[in-house]
Amino acid sequence: MSKFEAGMEAMVDMYIYETTTLLEQLDQILMKTESASSFGEEDINEIFRIMHTIKGSSAMMGLENMSTLAHAIEDMFFIIREEKPVITNTRDLYELVFNASDLLKAEIELLQEDSYSPTDFSGAKQKIFDFVDVLKGKAPAGNAAQGTAQAPAATAAASQSAEPAEQKNSDFTAVRVFFEDDCKMENLRALLIINKIREDCEKLEYEPADIETNPESAKKIIENGFVIRFKPIGPVENITREIEEALNVKSYEFISTPAKEEKAPVQPAAAQPVQQQASQSVPEKKAEAPQQKEEGASVEQINNLLAQSKSGGTKQSLISVNLNKLDQLLDMVGEIVITEAMVTANPDLKGLQLDNFQKAARQLRKLTDELQDIVMSIRMVPLSGAFNKMTRIVRDMKIKLNKDVDLVFEGEETEVDKSVIDNLNDPLMHMVRNAMDHGIEDTAEERIAKGKPAKGTITLSAYNASGEVIIVVSDDGKGIDPAKVLAKAKKNGLLTKPEKDYTEKEIFNLIMLPGFSTNEVVTEYSGRGVGMDVVRKNIEKIGGSVSVDSKFGQGTNFIIKIPLSLAIVDGMEVTVGKSIFTIPINSIKESFKLKPKQLIKDTSGKEMIMIRGECYPLIRLYEIYGLEPSYTDLFSGIIILVEAEGKSACLFADELIGEQQVVVKPFSPLLNNFKVKQNGMAGCTILGDGSITIILDVNNIISNF
């Protein structure tokens, strides 16, 4: 890992996280403003600040290419902000910024690989520069492009020595800053200082003035030092402290202080009062200390920048935590829950009268429950983040495919476990792309002819239902033609039974088989025939399921069901012979002993159970799983009425053992190869005594047996 300077490696994670967040913010702003087709001042400032932060932190990481690209955009928005030119070709502007944002994102991805080498962004930069030229050409005050703040400084820079300028600015304090030898990119470091102290200064000039734009200025800084002239709002000490604490500052000296008595030009150095000489040597010593704390200071700096960019100056109350730590915490809490059960339900305690112990145990139980809830809630993230990413995709495709589409969100505040979200991005993206590409009609005329509004709609909705989160990606486009799907599946040899035996639902679900794609033409976005297959795999990986529902001519719904949390469920343990199974409590409606009059057999001898006028199919667990039960007589065992997704059935088991909260452990991938999930097993869990039980997936049992 020699891609970063020593001491920076520790910050790579932080940098990547921060920059990604910022770029997402940028996309959001762009998307918002583009659809509203107006740039508010606030938005421009925000973009400016984002780019500024990326520039700064990239420079600190030594990623010059990213830093300069961000810089180019920053400059562009600087001009837009300061001169408010009339932008006629807004679309080009958006294209430029989106493009740059994509480049930066891609670079961040690359950065995470071991063999990273910086990408050359000069092409993109040139485009931005060209655009800036256009902007300037149209702006009346074109030659003041560098902005008002820098203009006076530029004139000051014109004269080799700084002193003459002070004639006019006698109430300025001037400081010359020297950076550590070989700290590299002195100009950017100087810029960081300027940014830090800007708020505290009424007036601020510096030399060289072109540090932001001209990398050559670094050399000048090395030779002559970096001269800052400022008129502070508060005490001068505030500013000097900032300078002292800044990164890589070797030393600094006062050139002049506010001339109190006369306006006469101050002679350089020689005219300095003795006091200044003293203060000059003291800070020099002080400046050495921060040097050693360099690493800590720079983390702080990133944090500062982050805080600034996030909340516009207010203190942020969020911290970012490594997910691994959170996982460890969750595992730990899981173990505590199990251990708690091991202690309180310890067989050694059986038959003992332990009032105080019971009281303490109850208290412990309450606390562990709360602890668990909190840990679970930490990991819950709203879906809005994942949804928002789709806005960008829809926007890009709208332009490329020339289709007019609205993207609508519903219930994006629904929360799911972080691990679920991470696995949801790709499937969502695929589905939205599919909807855009295949779903929505090619032309508005086509839509109008069908009596639909000219503008298509893609809806992403999410809601909670019985311990699961359901996400629906729907479009009001062409819908799926079952005949076409069937023909295609036949052509690709995907059919496993006679054509006429397929129900419509089964036909739609053929789409998700590997090697299926209805689009004959491979487009940039979809049609490689891997899409839906990957979607299904990704969703199944997180214990969810996907199904398709479509009305030909009216639209298509992709329905994703994912478990709310992968970690802890309330379960009821039942025995079947020697095996113990856990049934999630939220899918149990009731359990009872069967009465003879409740049992019905249909003509084919299939058993059904009548409960309060409703008839439910009976599934004998030992039968479907090929186990040796204690009872085969329905009246000796126990019947459990379960429900999932509106379907109900009765399960027959030997007996109920009890209720317990269990930590779900997913099956090994080895077992997943054997379709354990489809066979109604959701995972396993370890009980207090160390034995393993299998958690049943009621939905799959009802559907598949």
Partner 1 sequence: MTDTELYTETSNDFMSTGGKVLLFDIEDNVYGVEIQYITEIIGIQPITIVPKVPDYIKGVINLRGKVIPVMSVRKRFGKEEIPYDERTCIIVIEYDNIAVGLIVDKVNEVLEVDPEQISATPDYKSVNSNRYISAIIETQTGIKLLLNCQKIVAE
Residues contributing to the site for partner 1 (CB under 8 A): 335, 578-579, 624-627, 665, 667-671, 673-676, 679, 681, 684, 686, 690-694
Which CB, 144 or 624, lies closer to partner 1? 624
The strand pairing partners of 607, in sequence order, are: 601
Taking the complex as a whole, the smallest distance from the CB of residue 5 to partner 1 amounts, in Å, to: 24
Taking the complex as a whole, the smallest distance from the CB of residue 328 to partner 1 amounts, in Å, to: 13
Which CB, 337 or 473, lies closer to partner 1? 337
Taking the complex as a whole, the smallest distance from the CB of residue 66 to partner 1 amounts, in Å, to: 33
Taking the complex as a whole, the smallest distance from the CB of residue 631 to partner 1 amounts, in Å, to: 18
DSSP state of 143: G
H-type alpha helices, 345-465: 355-378, 384-401, 418-422, 425-434, 444-449
Which CB, 541 or 578, lies closer to partner 1? 578
Taking the complex as a whole, the smallest distance from the CB of residue 705 to partner 1 amounts, in Å, to: 10
Residue with tokens 């495709």: 397
The strand pairing partners of 475, in sequence order, are: 458, 556
Q: Strand 405-410 and strand 456-465: pairing?
A: parallel
Residue with tokens 């460890």: 328
Nearest to 395 by CA among 125, 128, 99: 99
Taking the complex as a whole, the smallest distance from the CB of residue 256 to partner 1 amounts, in Å, to: 57
Full strand arrangement of the beta sheet holding 568-576: 655-663, 568-576, 579-584, 692-696, 681-686
Nearest to 568 by CA among 396, 337, 284: 337
- Convert 97-152 into a string of H (helix), E (strand) and C (coil): HHHHHHHHHHHHHHHCCCCCCCCCCHHHHHHHHHHHHHHHHHCCCHHHCCCCCHHH
Which CB, 95 or 623, lies closer to partner 1? 623
Which CB, 267 or 339, lies closer to partner 1? 339
Taking the complex as a whole, the smallest distance from the CB of residue 174 to partner 1 amounts, in Å, to: 54
Length of the chain: 705
DSSP state of 561: E
Helix/strand/coil for 382: strand
Taking the complex as a whole, the smallest distance from the CB of residue 343 to partner 1 amounts, in Å, to: 17
Which CB, 596 or 669, lies closer to partner 1? 669
Which CB, 351 or 690, lies closer to partner 1? 690
Encoded amino acid at 194, one letter: I
CA distance 686 to 694: 9
The strand pairing partners of 653, in sequence order, are: 638
Which CB, 94 or 705, lies closer to partner 1? 705
The strand pairing partners of 178, in sequence order, are: 251
Query: Is residue 513 within 8 Å of 494, Cβ to Cβ?
Result: yes
CA distance 481 to 377: 43
Nearest to 30 by CA among 83, 99, 132, 124: 99
Contacting residues for 130 by C-beta, under 8 A, at least 6 apart: none
Taking the complex as a whole, the smallest distance from the CB of residue 610 to partner 1 amounts, in Å, to: 28
CA distance 194 to 52: 13
| 283 CA to centre of own chain | 44
Which value, to the nearest 10 degrees, does the dihedral of the CA atoms of residues 192, 198, 201, 206 take?
A: 60
Which CB, 332 or 487, lies closer to partner 1? 332
Which CB, 77 or 625, lies closer to partner 1? 625
Which CB, 539 or 695, lies closer to partner 1? 695
The strand pairing partners of 643, in sequence order, are: 648
Taking the complex as a whole, the smallest distance from the CB of residue 129 to partner 1 amounts, in Å, to: 48
Which CB, 278 or 670, lies closer to partner 1? 670
Taking the complex as a whole, the smallest distance from the CB of residue 626 to partner 1 amounts, in Å, to: 6
**What token pair was written down for 546?**
């996907």
Across 262-290, b (16+ Cβ under 10 Å) vs e yields eeebbeeeeebeeeeeebbeebeeebeeb
Taking the complex as a whole, the smallest distance from the CB of residue 575 to partner 1 amounts, in Å, to: 13
Which CB, 605 or 669, lies closer to partner 1? 669
Taking the complex as a whole, the smallest distance from the CB of residue 17 to partner 1 amounts, in Å, to: 25
Which CB, 496 or 668, lies closer to partner 1? 668
Q: What is the DSSP string of 296-317?
A: HHHHHHHHHHHHHHHHTTSPP-
CA distance 466 to 450: 37
Taking the complex as a whole, the smallest distance from the CB of residue 532 to partner 1 amounts, in Å, to: 24
Taking the complex as a whole, the smallest distance from the CB of residue 23 to partner 1 amounts, in Å, to: 31
Which CB, 393 or 671, lies closer to partner 1? 671
Residue with tokens 């001519």: 553
CA distance 324 to 331: 10
